[in-house]
């Protein structure tokens, strides 16, 4: 799920990578692309409009940062807005002060309600609760049977009208189940209600009657993420017909485009609380807006890099370094060491390089990068005299031997480092003449 959206957004960001500063025209073009990406993912139009307006406003207001390049800043803004639209904070289940906590599930037939009842029961049981599953779908043949199977798999008790007792009254079953739960020390009651293939008044009235009879602590609206734009209409109908406190998205494992996930919170004002990702009982978890946004952007790594860079880079230091690098010659081995240590502080080098935009294609080479190499380089530089560090050109034959001995490496390694340093110095000169490496101080001008 979300693959198309991820791909599109990633390509929007990669086209920004080469940019120095973002002009208003760049921002407009980017926002247009984001808009198309969201619409193609079946996100509801009002949601798309709001989303893009926010991104545009924030992108125009970004300050020039030494730590982040424009593409990274836009990624960060889009990520923040995605989290926001998905509900911000994770919304946890509210338990009643006096048990039992009553949870009522509502949604269309086939949305995955009964399966969800089982998942929720298992999830709660694993956390030490003693849930009771209640079968109030007395219309669909086999619904009671299906719930009993779920209960068995989830290893929880089930409350259902006796078979052969006629159709039964779901409102009465719900009411009695809560009494039963109190007597039997169940601390959570999960009521599975009847669904229809489409929205209808009878369905809404029955759900509302059950709600009135048991005053649930949470009414959860269950919606199949694969129904695309219809998710929004269905959610609105249930909002008016029954009302609900939270949303459960099911079938997120399908190849849906993800529009439901991105629209439903915004349109109903109710948080997504759980997500279902398969037919098995364990394919289920609480919904975390930040993780979902990371998945959509497929850029969790870059976001981490961005955060680390923001935390680690001292803007003033970075500016000083940038001006040294720009001059090329002013860049000494001491600076080289400082910079390496700065990078080292941000985490394992392999991860770090892997996180840089555009480094994806270089994964194989990156896998050979070792933090120990960095430490060896640091040791070599530390074995040099201040004069040698400031003026690496003087590092010749006997000096090289002394440095190798001092740092416990071979002369070849010292030679290689000096060569690499001169290459880096050359590259910096070129960079300062206009090219730029994203994310590196001084890489933008």
The binding site for ligand GDP (CB under 6 A) comprises 107, 109-115, 195, 250-251, 253-254, 276-279, 283
Answer yes or no: is 107 a known binding residue. Answer: yes
What is the smallest separation between the CB atom of 184 and ligand GDP, expressed in angstroms? 24
What is the smallest separation between the CB atom of 183 and ligand GDP, expressed in angstroms? 27
What is the smallest separation between the CB atom of 360 and ligand GDP, expressed in angstroms? 29
Residues 6+ apart with CB under 8 A from 128: none
Cα–Cα distance measured from residue 166 to residue 81, given in angstroms and rounded to the nearest whole number: 52
Closer residue to ligand GDP (CB): 109 or 229:
109
What is the smallest separation between the CB atom of 249 and ligand GDP, expressed in angstroms? 8
Answer yes or no: is 320 a known binding residue. Answer: no
Answer yes or no: is 113 a known binding residue. Answer: yes
What is the smallest separation between the CB atom of 226 and ligand GDP, expressed in angstroms? 8
45-60 and 259-268 are packed helices; what angle lies between their axes, rounded to 10 degrees?
90
What is the smallest separation between the CB atom of 125 and ligand GDP, expressed in angstroms? 18
Closest residue by Cα to residue 340 from 380, 371, 374, 381: 374
The DSSP call for residue 393 is G
Element of type H or E holding 25: helix 24-40
Answer yes or no: is 109 a known binding residue. Answer: yes
Closer residue to ligand GDP (CB): 254 or 328:
254
What is the smallest separation between the CB atom of 252 and ligand GDP, expressed in angstroms? 6
Answer yes or no: is 301 a known binding residue. Answer: no
Cα–Cα distance measured from residue 295 to residue 277, given in angstroms and rounded to the nearest whole number: 14
Closer residue to ligand GDP (CB): 99 or 254:
254
Answer yes or no: is 410 a known binding residue. Answer: no
What is the smallest separation between the CB atom of 357 and ligand GDP, expressed in angstroms? 33
Closer residue to ligand GDP (CB): 275 or 303:
275
Cα–Cα distance measured from residue 248 to residue 25, given in angstroms and rounded to the nearest whole number: 39
Answer yes or no: is 118 a known binding residue. Answer: no
Compute CA 359 distance to the chain's CA centroid, rounded to the nearest angstrom. 21
Count of Cβ atoms closer than 10 Å to residue 183 Cβ: 8
- DSSP string of 201-270? HHHHHHHHHHHHHH--SEEEEEEEGGGTTHHHHHHHHHHHHT--SEEEEE-TTSS--SHHHHHHHHHH--
Cα within 13 Å of Cα(182), Cβ side: 8
Answer yes or no: is 108 a known binding residue. Answer: yes
Closer residue to ligand GDP (CB): 110 or 243:
110
Closer residue to ligand GDP (CB): 107 or 392:
107
Answer yes or no: is 443 a known binding residue. Answer: no
Closer residue to ligand GDP (CB): 111 or 432:
111
Answer yes or no: is 114 a known binding residue. Answer: yes
Cα–Cα distance measured from residue 399 to residue 333, given in angstroms and rounded to the nearest whole number: 15
Beta bridge partners of 286: 274
- 3-state SS string over 339-370? HHHHHHHCCCHHHHHHHCCCCHHHHHHHCCCC
Closer residue to ligand GDP (CB): 11 or 145:
145
Answer yes or no: is 195 a known binding residue. Answer: yes
Cα–Cα distance measured from residue 321 to residue 339, given in angstroms and rounded to the nearest whole number: 8
Q: Which CA distances in Å does 392 have to 172, 333, 384, 412, 420?
A: 87, 7, 9, 16, 11
Annotated binding site: 107-114, 192-196, 250-253
Annotated binding site for GTP: 107-114, 192-196, 250-253
């Amino acid at each position: 799920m979300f693959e198309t959206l991820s791909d599109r957004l990633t390509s929007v960001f990669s086209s920004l990578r080469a940019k120095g500063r973002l002009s208003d025209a760049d921002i407009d073009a980017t926002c247009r692309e984001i808009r198309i990406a969201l619409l193609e993912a079946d996100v509801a139009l009002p949601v798309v409009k709001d989303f893009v307006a926010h991104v545009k406003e924030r992108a125009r207001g970004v300050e020039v940062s030494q730590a982040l390049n424009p593409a990274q800043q836009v990624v960060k803004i889009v990520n923040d807005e995605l989290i926001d639209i998905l509900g911000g904070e994770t919304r946890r289940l509210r338990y009643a002060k006096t048990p039992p906590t009553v949870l009522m599930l509502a949604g269309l037939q086939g949305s995955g309600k009964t399966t969800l009842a089982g998942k929720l029961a298992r999830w709660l049981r694993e956390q030490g609760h003693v849930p009771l599953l209640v079968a109030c779908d007395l219309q669909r043949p086999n619904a009671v049977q299906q719930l009993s199977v779920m209960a068995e798999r989830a290893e929880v008790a089930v409350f259902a009208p006796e078979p052969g007792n006629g159709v039964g009254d779901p409102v009465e079953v719900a009411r009695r189940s809560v009494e039963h739960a109190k007597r039997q020390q169940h601390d959570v009651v999960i009521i599975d209600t009847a669904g229809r293939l489409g929205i209808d008044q009878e369905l809404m009235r029955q759900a509302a009657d059950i709600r009135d009879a048991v005053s649930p602590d949470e009414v959860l609206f269950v919606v199949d993420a694969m129904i695309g734009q219809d998710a929004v209409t269905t959610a609105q109908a249930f909002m008016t017909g029954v009302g609900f406190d939270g949303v459960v998205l099911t079938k997120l494992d399908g190849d849906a485009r993800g529009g439901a996930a991105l629209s439903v919170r915004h349109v109903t004002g109710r948080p997504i609380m759980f997500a279902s990702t398969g037919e098995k009982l364990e394919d289920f978890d609480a919904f975390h807006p930040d993780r979902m946004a990371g998945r959509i952007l497929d850029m969790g790594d870059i976001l981490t890099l961005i955060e680390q860079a923001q935390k680690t880079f001292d803007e003033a230091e970075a500016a000083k370094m940038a001006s040294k690098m720009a001059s090329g010659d002013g860049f000494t081995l001491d600076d080289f060491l400082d910079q390496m240590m700065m990078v080292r502080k941000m985490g394992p080098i392999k991860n770090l390089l892997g996180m840089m935009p555009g480094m994806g294609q270089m994964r194989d080479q990156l896998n050979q990068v070792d933090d120990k190499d960095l430490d060896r380089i640091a040791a070599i530089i530390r074995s040099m005299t201040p004069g040698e560090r400031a003026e690496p050109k003087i590092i010749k034959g006997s000096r090289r031997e002394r440095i190798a001995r001092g740092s416990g490496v071979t002369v070849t390694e010292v030679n290689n480092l000096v060569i690499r340093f001169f290459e880096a110095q050359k590259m910096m000169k070129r960079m300062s003449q206009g090219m730029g490496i994203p994310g590196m101080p001084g890489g933008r001008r």
